Structure 1
Amino acid sequence: MKAIVCDKYGSPDVLELKEIKKPFPTENQVLVKVHSASLNFGNLVLLTGKPFLARFAFGLTRPKYSIPGGDIAGTVEAVGKDVKLFKVGDEVFGDLSGCGWGGFAEYVTVPEYAIALKPNSISFEEAAATPMAGVTALQGLRDKGKIKSGHKVLIYGASGGVGTFAVQIAKSFGAEVTGVCSTRNVEILRSIGADHIIDYKKECFAQHKECYDLVLGVNGSNSISAYKRVLKPNGKFVHVGGSEFQLYQTLLLGPFISMTGSKKISSLLQRANQKDLNDVKELLETQKIKPIIDKRFKLSEITEAFNYFQEGHAQGKVVITL
């Protein structure tokens, strides 16, 4: 089978399309014929080895996982003898970041707990665009942010993969949502239901008089003090992604700010799990969320896909088709 192989950290140029042996499922595994996959920030970390702290999970000197790719959607081709949840022919989707990655390939073996049945109402491309970004948004808002109906929520970086899901999921909880994005992405946020939009090219969110119950930092390089300034008393800031500066400020200053005042600062480490994936599936089936796909690339165009993705201006998700 064809697969993308990464044997060393570096730029997208280190990625190679190779012919390798097709895997075979063990007793508790499912063999999936991959139809679509998608790019996430975790794929970029696995490629570059940055930030350096990530190497303690991904391999200090070289990638522990030679085939990148977390999000997939495809068809079950074979199942191990102990698999109970899936059968040959099922259409499935899932996030492989917690079980060895390997999604940028024609076939991949996965534990049955890493996938869910794909909603019939969406395409394989839409399904592949959803798992990691959708679950990240859900965990950030619901689990870390404790979102409630009527909350005022600010999402910084609202037009990217996680951000577009976060806007829609926050609306599904009954929140009043303000999205921060650049001028070119304003219409996208309007189309997915944002109540208010701040164009960071024209104005600074921290200079607004509005305060929020919950701020989700999906992207950007703002200081923690800027986010703290727009939080209500007892408000929460959840760091999901962005610059290393923003991450380290959250990790180093967040606990002190949280202990010495009513405002809470925390960082989310997304963890793939089947229950949350099924919760996201339900949101898809009830049309409370829809994946926003920016560009599609072939597996042979993986270098171009990564180069585009790491520019940081994708409107929604970047999808790989096989």
Structure 2
Amino acid sequence: MRAAIWASSSSASVVSLPKPPPPGPNEILVRVRAVALNPVDYKVRLWPLRHIYTPTLGRDFSGEVIEVGSDVPAGRGPSSNTDGASSPGAGEQGMNLNAFQRGDAVMGITGGGGNACAEYVVVSASRAVRKPPNLSFEAAAGVGVVYLTGYCGLFAKTAKKDRKAICAGQSILIAGGSGGTGTAAVQLAKSAGCEVYAICSSKNEQFVKGLGTDGVFLYDAVENNESLVRKIRQAVPNGFDLIYDTVSSGDGPDMNYEAILRPLLKDAGASSADTSPSSSPPYYVALNTPKPTDWIRTILSAAVGRDLTRGGYDLFLPDPSAANWRFLAKWFEDNKVNVQVDKTFDFTDEGVTAAFVRMRSRRAVGKVVIKIA
């Protein structure tokens, strides 16, 4: 089969690799139709053992089931229009969340180092869901990482015990509103009834406004960071219940937003739309960080089962559970959210390399997709 790997630290190659073995008892074999890229996919090129392991690129995929493992429930599970999955955490008990049969159109996310950017992929049945019929294969490939991340981050499907899901009337600020993770977060938060504000460039202002935001702040239309913060404070003087940072990371070109944005959170005792005892304190939610110690704390917390991270700060990894997949599939089928595809590239050496250049530029508006078949 054809598969994409990193040929060097700057270019990808489509090479011939053996077809995957038959799926295990709880796995499915998928003929891949499209793959969407994420920042972690280009960071693989820096792995010390890349030349030995040569991992196939990509995690997010869509395609068609061609073989089903012996322990995967036979036949069709509940349709993604099941009423019980229409709200976070509702109606999931007792539902068969990962039943598949040959010919099912699916979308999913692989585990480990990737392996999705190939003609075939074997994946755990719990990491996939049937594709809503109103999504193209290209759009469906873009659901995985960014929407699972958005769902877990906004609806508190993380290890932070004092966090609750966002609720109607709360104010949310999203740093990086035009990228894949940003557009997903904007739509999820708006669908939950929140007031949503976003930071983006002037070039993407109208696009981000078109997602339904209540306000947009342009980082390239101010003199400095202090001016940006001042504009945000003037527009939202009471502060935010949650800040969702899709930008900050250890990569040199990326802005470190936490230092300037975290003071914009509401004080812990300030009033919120939900003043009940179950309401969540203000939180800064991050997808990455320039501080290695934060990742160490997050990983250690998961290992020991105790929260060792900073208070009011949630650095997390998305949970690709079947229940979370079902919730997202329902919202897509109901047209509450949709995938913004920036550009689709061919499955060739040049096409895959160009796709990564586009994503790495931080100028993509939505998801960068590679069409496999």
TM-score category by the smaller chain? 0.7 to 0.9
Partner of 1:312: 362
Worse-matched range after superposition: 305-314 or 223-232: 223-232
Aligned residue for 2:353, secondary structure, equals: helix
Partner of 1:33: 31
Aligned residue for 1:12, secondary structure, equals: coil
2:17 is aligned with what amino acid? Answer: I
- Using a 3 Å threshold, how does the CA distance of structure 1 residues 223 and 38 change in structure 2: closer, same or farther? closer
Aligned residue for 1:103, secondary structure, equals: coil
CA contact (8 A) 1:30 1:80 kept: yes
Q: How far apart are the structure 1 equivalents of 2:207 and 2:187?
A: 12
Q: 1:212 aligns with which of 209, 231, 240?
A: 240
Q: How far apart are the structure 2 equivalents of 1:256 and 1:274?
A: 28
Shift of residue 272, structure 1, vs aligned partner? 2.3
> What number of residue pairs does the alignment pair up?
301
Shift of residue 108, structure 1, vs aligned partner? 0.8
- Using a 3 Å threshold, how does the CA distance of structure 1 residues 151 and 205 change in structure 2: closer, same or farther? farther
The 5 Å alignment of 1:144-155 reads 146=164, 147-155=166-174
State the Cα deviation string for residues 263-320 of structure 1 (Å, max 9, x = none): x122122232222122111110111111001011011111111111111111010001
Q: Aligned residues: percent identity?
A: 30
Aligned residue for 2:155, secondary structure, equals: helix
CA contact (8 A) 1:76 1:92 kept: yes
**What are structure 1's unaligned runs of at least 5 residues?**
50-59
Aligned residue for 1:297, secondary structure, equals: strand
Partner of 2:261: 227
The 5 Å alignment of 1:1-322 reads 1-6=1-6, 11-13=9-11, 15-23=12-20, 24-49=22-47, 60-62=48-50, 64=53, 66-84=55-73, 85-96=99-110, 98-143=111-156, 146=164, 147-203=166-222, 204-207=227-230, 208-209=232-233, 210=236, 211-220=239-248, 221-234=255-268, 235-241=282-288, 245=290, 247-248=291-292, 258-259=310-311, 264-300=312-348, 301-322=351-372
Q: Which has the higher contact order (CA 8 A, sep 6+)?
A: 2
CA contact (8 A) 2:294 2:309 kept: no
Q: How far apart are the structure 2 equivalents of 1:152 and 1:253?
A: 28
CA contact (8 A) 1:29 1:83 kept: yes
Q: How far apart are the structure 1 equivalents of 2:257 and 2:142?
A: 30
More strand by share: 1
TM-score, normalised relative to structure 1: 0.86
TM-score, normalised relative to structure 2: 0.75
2:58 is aligned with what amino acid? Answer: G
Query: Which has more radius of gyration?
Result: 2
Taking only aligned residues, the RMSD between alpha carbons, in angstroms, comes to 2.3
- Using a 3 Å threshold, how does the CA distance of structure 1 residues 306 and 169 change in structure 2: closer, same or farther? same
